[in-house]
Amino acid sequence: MIALTRLNGQPVMVNSDLIEQIEETPDTVVTLTSGNRLVVRDRMADVQAKIIEFKRRIHAPERGGV
């Protein structure tokens, strides 16, 4: 999940696997696969970077090992 900020300043956690599209109109609108839309303060490029970082963290090989 990634942390975004609604226009009113409230933080919201979003399951990045459920994001269907992101657009700037000029506000950033995140559309989920359910059809729900979130309008957030985060810029589109920042949302993209958060998704990439999240995916890297969960799919990275574990360090240490046997």
The pLDDT tens digits of the residues spanning 10-52 come to 999 999 999 999 999 999 999 999 999 999 999 999 999 999 9
Identify which has the larger pLDDT, 61 or 32: 32
Answer whether residue 8 is part of any domain. Answer: yes
Answer whether residue 29 is part of any domain. Answer: yes
Return the C-alpha torsion angle 19, 21, 22, 24, nearest 10. -150
Domain that holds residue 48: 2-59
Local structure of 17: helix, strand or coil: helix
> Domains in the chain: how many in total?
1
CA angle 39/41/44 to nearest 5° reads 85
Local structure of 44: helix, strand or coil: helix
Residue with tokens 């240490």: 64
Answer whether residue 66 is part of any domain. Answer: no
Judge if pTM exceeds 0.75.
Answer: yes
| Closest residue by Cα to residue 50 from 8, 7, 12, 66 | 12
Distance CA 11, CA 24 (A): 19
